[in-house]
Each structure stands twice: as structure tokens, then as C-alpha cells.
Amino acid sequence: MGSVRAVLIDIDGVLTVSWQPLPGTVEALREIREAGLAVALVTNTTSRTRASIARTLADAGFPVSADDILTAPAVTAAHLAEHYPGARCVLLNSGDIAEDLSGVTLVDEDRGDGEPPDVVVVGGAGPEFGYAALDRAFGHLQRGARLVAMHRNLYWRTDRGLRLDTGAFLAGLEKAARVEAEITGKPSPAFFEAALAHVGAGADEALMVGDDIESDVLAAQRAGVTGVLVRTGKYLPQTHRDASGTPDHVIDSFADLPALLRGLRGSAQQQL
């Protein structure tokens, strides 16, 4: 399919909503696989481990395994190992992702051993993001803990509509504590570098498909990856109009991606 060798794909809002496949997405991913393209599912999802995500998607018919999935928690674990080896970390997250944080020393605040954490790690928002938890995190930051966040997403799409996400709380923590979070997931350039290394492709050989114009598409384009915006999931016409840049391609659904790739292949052949 032209010069494209790899496709990076967001999951929530692109392939699924509330983990239910969107129309035509299973078939489209199969077609992309059969064309011989490398595939990585790159997600800021922090409520499930890579293995759990793979099982859910495979049960729905998607041709994927855990090795195809790169999550913000997995990239966060690598970031902490590189920049804060041995650090005591307190995790604020909705969902059990300990399996993807191997090698990270997580502090159980309920046990209270008296030693303050070195790093506050913020994952995905949920019921755990109440006043008491946020105030504890604020206290740690005041005492000098570093702030590492898996993403800045403001909301995500579920079968019940848009739901508030981490970015809304993170902005408050940063402003109150006068610190700036280190972002490890999308739109971090390091995340896209990790994804490209995962599929063994250069930036000019890859496409990124997402429903978040800023964190998925334009962030990928800044990393040199071709960006494809889908009009599903959290896509809103207003955010499209008000975005900081223009996507390379816009399609109605991931189901339309094989046709786009065929068109790109035809254009590449005409240029030879």
C-alpha cells in the first residue's frame, strides 16, 4: 500500500466504544493485516492491562494479541525506570494496571509506612479521583514529589456519551502545586517514538489513526507520522474546526481506512 509499512491505531473511539466494535472495524483491521502492514494499537487507556485489552478485542473478532498493544502504563513504566530508578511512586488511577507497571515501586498509601513518595503517577480518571485522593497528591507535590501523568485527555466517549477524564484534574493539580507534569502517553513525542520502534518503521512509513485530533493526529504529525482523523468516538466538529492544525486525512470511520490506503498506494505508483 504505497510507502506505508505500518499503521498505529488508537482503540477507544476508533475500533470500539465501551469495548464494543464499531461497524466495519473488525473487517478493516483484518484487511490491513492481510495486506502485510505492521500494526500497533496505541492507547492512553489506563483501566486495563495489555493482556486484558488483547483478550477483549480478540473475543470481539479483532486479529490482535498483547504484543500488538502499546499502552500509556507500559510506556510510563519504562519512563520511570529510565528517569527515576528505584523511586517510590504513588499511583492515582481508575483500574488495576499493576501488571503493566512491572519494576515500578508502588507505595500503598493506606498502609502508611511514613516514607513520602518520590513521584506521583496519575493515570486515568474515575471514582478514585475524589477530593481526598487529589488532596493527598497535592500534599506530596508540595513536599517535592515529581508529577508524572500518563495523558492529558479531557474526556472520552462511552456508550453513555462523553465522560470526564484526567486532564481536567491534572490541570488543577499543576496549577495548585505550581508544577508541570511529565506526560508519558499521547501526545508525548516519546510515546510515538516507542510506537515506531515497536513496529520497526520510520515516521515517514507510518500512519496514525485516531479520534482525538490533538493528542492522536496532530501529535503524530509533529513526530513526522501521517495523521488520519476519524469522525467517530470523541470526534466533535467544533474541536476539528478549533484545532491547532490540519489532519493529513479525515475519514468517517476506521472502516474506510483500507480504501484510503489503496488510494495512497495508487498515488505512489503514479509518481514512480
For the stretch 225-254, pLDDT in tens is 999 999 999 999 999 999 999 999 999 999
Q: What is the pLDDT of residue 269?
A: 53
For the stretch 136-147, pLDDT in tens is 999 999 999 999
For the stretch 66-92, pLDDT in tens is 999 999 999 999 999 999 999 999 999
Which three cell numbers, joined as nine digits, stand for 178?
505550581
Name the residue among 68, 34, 5, 9 with its Cα closest to residue 210. 9
Pairing of strands 226-230, 249-251: parallel
Has residue 110 got a pLDDT over 80?
no
Q: What is the pLDDT of residue 112?
A: 58
For the stretch 185-199, pLDDT in tens is 999 999 999 999 999
Q: What is the pLDDT of residue 1?
A: 43
Across residues 52-73, what is the average pLDDT? 96
Percent of the chain whose predicted confidence (pLDDT) is above 90: 82
Give CA angle at 263 (269, 10), nearest 5°.
120
| Sign of the alpha-carbon dihedral angle for 134, 136, 139, 145 | negative
Q: What is the pLDDT of residue 64?
A: 97
- Containing 140, the helix (H) or strand (E) segment is helix 131-142
d(CA 191, CA 268): 28
